[in-house]
Structure 1
Amino acid sequence: MRPSSGLSVEVSMSRDPQILVLGAGPAGAATAIGLRRMGYAVTLVSDWRRFDAVEGVSQRVLDGLRHAGLGLALGVATVAAARQVQWNGERMQMNQEFLLDRARFDRALREDLLCAGVNVIHGRVRELTQDGRYQAQLDDGQVLHGDFLVEARGRQAPLPASRLRGPETVSLLNLWQSTARGAPASAVESLDDGWAWMARLADGRCYWQITLDASAASLPGKAALGEYCAARRRQSAGVAQLFDAQALEPAQVHARSSTAILAGACAGADWLRVGDAAMAVDPLSGNGIFQSLSSALQAPVVINTLLRRPERSALAQRFHQQRVEQLFLRFARTGRDFYRLEQRHADAGFWVPRQRWPDDQAMHQAANWQAVRVERRPVLREGWVDEAEVVVTADQPLGVWHLQGVELAPVVRALQAGSGLVEALADKPEQAHAMVRRWLLEQGYR
């Protein structure tokens, strides 16, 4: 069940509101810990991941984990691996990525939650209802209650009808244990009908995932998937370089959807969607953990505002919704541009829709000083969603409030009113002048 944006609960101020978080992935964990830092009572319910997996993450994911207070999870995310890229007929040695053992990572997330004082319950939600308060009935019959609901169950979260979907995509993850040992490594390669990502850990665990068009792929039945994937690996130059002969044999397979999805409404007066439950991106467009953290780090402040300052409810909901939508489009366009780099198969069935979706708008818009304007928009200020004057530019449609503490709206207003640059910066710290000048030049000011 997805709570309707029309549902509302009045939380009695005679007691502290109880917050119920569904899902203990990075988004649910970051939201729960952020709320505990604010003093809220948080109960989190989550089922364990049902298969082994590994993910490649970037340095920005490690920075996000640190910022979210997920120190133990960060501690298991430091296995650096050399990365090879074979794309558009070219082979490149890219900068390293960090290989993340999801089983260890998920256990560390739960330890972080417990250390923060979050009430963590292992279980699967069978039914979610609302009668004054939210009620989550688990498979074991236990019933959990909450005044506020955070939906963080990722792609397993029920989706509303008003959702935006990219090209239907499926990923087949294969895993096996090799007797060979070696330095961790990973690679990605483009194929005529999709692409593959692969990784080898130091202990011999091996992972290979192929991503295909769900509607066009001629996939066999479940029982034959292992041999199908093995046959694909036998044709792969990347597999031959990264793995030993064991990679050519059938392995354990897990099929999962990797379609890019924007959930539609992501915020209500007493509920919020975060992480993949709000927006799930194509795996080529960016690391899933990074996008999960991107939407979750703002969530505690949004929830704090919804609960404690209901007069700002509409403003807080708009803040969360707009940023989720902009993040989704940014990741979608990033993926589109990666797909466009593959020109050998530009006319093939897998590649055509992905090189055109979600639109043709460039990732970065050309600077245009004449289009720069000052508007009042929602911002985060001292633990609340507030409203302030921000500078809206072609490349920053949500607006820029300040640069390292220097508010930009007064400077832009002064320049647009005819003041010179020296005059516009007169009341700003001298050490910030060069920084603001650079930013103005980037917006086309002359």
Structure 2
Amino acid sequence: MADPRILILGAGPAGAATAIGLRRLGYAVTVVSEWRRFAAVEGVSQRVLEGLRHAGLGSALEEVATPATRQVRWNGQHLQLNQEYLLDRQAFDRALRDDLQRAGVTLVEGRVREVLGEDGHQVRLDDGQTLEAEFLVEARGRQAPLAADRLRGPETVSLLNLWQGEPGEPASAVESLDDGWAWMARLADGRCYWQITLNAEGLPGKAALAEYCAERRRRSELVAELFDAHALAPAIVHARSSTAILAGECAGEDWLRVGDAAMAVDPLSGNGIFQSLSSALQAPAVINTLLRCPQRAALARCFHQQRIEQLFLRFARIGRDFYAQEQARAAGLFWARRRQWPDAQPIHGASDWEAVRVERRPVLREGLVDEADVVVTADQPLGVWHLQGIELAPVVRGVQDGLELTQVLSDRSMEQQMMVRRWLAEQGYG
């Protein structure tokens, strides 16, 4: 049987990671993308670098700039915290395409005009091309159309400003404001970026945005420290939605949503690229299962949907807790809307050995979604299968059946025994 034609819409981190993962499984893949038209920069953490490396995006990893010093003004405090890496998104996106081409992925440059789903998938581009596929991956980020939202945060907009300043040491900073917050960065060649994130309503019209943003910068002591006089003049502005959105359905029989097309998080969580990679790294195994093992289709869709939702809530709660740290402005409308959304659940559940249980859940095994006994805890509601290669369900079952821990772990090395004992203690055992 001929391999199914797989089409991925979008060549950002999520689309690229999915494509390379599918190539590793032996599939032919075509990626369609409209290349980024405006300059942008993002601050990323060390774990984003590790995620890119794990996804096979080596060229993209090399595009990460030299670490920049980072200042934070939040809740009345002025701190110089750990470094972050400044990522030139246009250069980064070009490197992603290089990685895709080296992996043998077919690239098509074009803007998607229409997607039809009758008897497979037909994707029509603005230039008149029509591409057909048996399986479609939606990875166009926030541009992807949503049939329905499962969960939507406070309506938020980010205004990105860019201008050319004098060359200098790379640096970045973030500061809280009465009605939002601003992130700013300077690259070594003098390219400067400033982005303010606000409630979506009440902003001036498009023609007045440049002067509005410039006036906001003129009132900032942090802007004066980080940039030269060019920062005080109106600059190029790009307005973007940054509302947190969870898609209602992220998997079907012959389609899948990944990255921001499945869940787009508030930028304050600082995990945009990381969450895109997190949702995409599981996608190749899910697609492989849908195509090769249709009897497990429901299991594969459940696995993908549950993990998308769990990732979204985790990052949404991280953003909520960042907002809650700003006590001085807590009564402001912007802050009040976000400090208790999406819920009051803690990021990490409290340890409770009595609540630990073994259940049958979907897992990834040898490139496919399968079922296995996993250990469900307050902090891991989807379950933990292995701890560095040690299957945990038999250990927990043995302990819960009244066996001595030394007996349960008798076939393990001392190092492994110590590791499992620490994990059990973290769950409240003993």
SS at structure 1 position matched to 2:329: coil
Q: Counterpart in 2 of 1:176?
A: 163
Question: Displacement of 1:79 after TM fit?
Answer: 2.2
Summarize the alignment of residues 410-429 of structure 1 with structure 2, pairs less than 5 Å apart.
410-429=394-413
CA contact (8 A) 2:13 2:273 kept: yes
Q: Counterpart in 1 of 2:422?
A: 438
CA contact (8 A) 1:183 1:202 kept: yes
CA contact (8 A) 1:286 1:334 kept: no
1:242 paired residue among 226, 243, 268: 226
Question: Displacement of 1:205 after TM fit?
Answer: 0.2
Moved more, 360-369 or 160-169: 160-169
Does residue 353 of structure 2 align to residue 369 of structure 1?
Answer: yes
Cα distance in 2 for partners of 1:121, 1:161 equals 28
Cα distance in 2 for partners of 1:147, 1:430 equals 50
Q: Counterpart in 2 of 1:190?
A: 176
**Residues 161-216 of structure 1: CA distance to partner in whole angstroms, max 9, x if unpaired?**
243110000000000001x221100000000000000000000000000000113x
Question: Displacement of 1:382 after TM fit?
Answer: 1.0
Q: Counterpart in 2 of 1:87?
A: 74
Summarize the alignment of residues 36-185 of structure 1 with structure 2, pairs less than 5 Å apart.
36-178=23-165, 180-185=166-171
Question: What letter corresponds to residue 9 of structure 2 in structure 1?
Answer: L
CA contact (8 A) 2:154 2:338 kept: yes
Moved more, 125-134 or 395-404: 125-134
Query: Which 5+ residue runs of structure 2 have no aligned equivalent?
Result: none
1:299 paired residue among 265, 283, 296: 283
Summarize the alignment of residues 276-287 of structure 1 with structure 2, pairs less than 5 Å apart.
276-287=260-271
CA contact (8 A) 1:56 1:287 kept: no
SS at structure 2 position matched to 1:356: coil
Cα distance in 1 for partners of 2:411, 2:261 equals 45
Question: What letter corresponds to residue 389 of structure 2 in structure 1?
Answer: G
Cα distance in 1 for partners of 2:167, 2:120 equals 53
Q: Counterpart in 2 of 1:7?
A: none
1:228 paired residue among 200, 212, 217: 212
Question: Displacement of 1:409 after TM fit?
Answer: 0.5
Cα distance in 2 for partners of 1:338, 1:293 equals 22
CA contact (8 A) 2:217 2:232 kept: yes
CA contact (8 A) 1:16 1:40 kept: yes
Question: Displacement of 1:420 after TM fit?
Answer: 1.2
Q: Counterpart in 1 of 2:194?
A: 208
1:360 paired residue among 344, 351, 360: 344
Question: What letter corresponds to residue 11 of structure 2 in structure 1?
Answer: A
CA contact (8 A) 2:65 2:88 kept: no
Cα distance in 2 for partners of 1:427, 1:393 equals 25
TM-score (norm 1): 0.95
**Large movers: runs of 4+ above 3 Å:** none
Q: Counterpart in 2 of 1:11?
A: none
SS at structure 2 position matched to 1:24: coil
SS at structure 2 position matched to 1:284: helix
Cα distance in 2 for partners of 1:198, 1:77 equals 17
TM-score (norm 2): 0.99
**Residues 250-307 of structure 1: CA distance to partner in whole angstroms, max 9, x if unpaired?**
0000001000000111011111000000000000013211110000011001101110
Moved more, 427-436 or 371-380: 427-436
- Count of residues paired in the alignment: 430
Percentage identity across aligned positions?
74
Question: Displacement of 1:430 after TM fit?
Answer: 3.3
CA contact (8 A) 2:271 2:315 kept: no
Q: Counterpart in 2 of 1:23?
A: 10
Cα distance in 2 for partners of 1:107, 1:162 equals 31
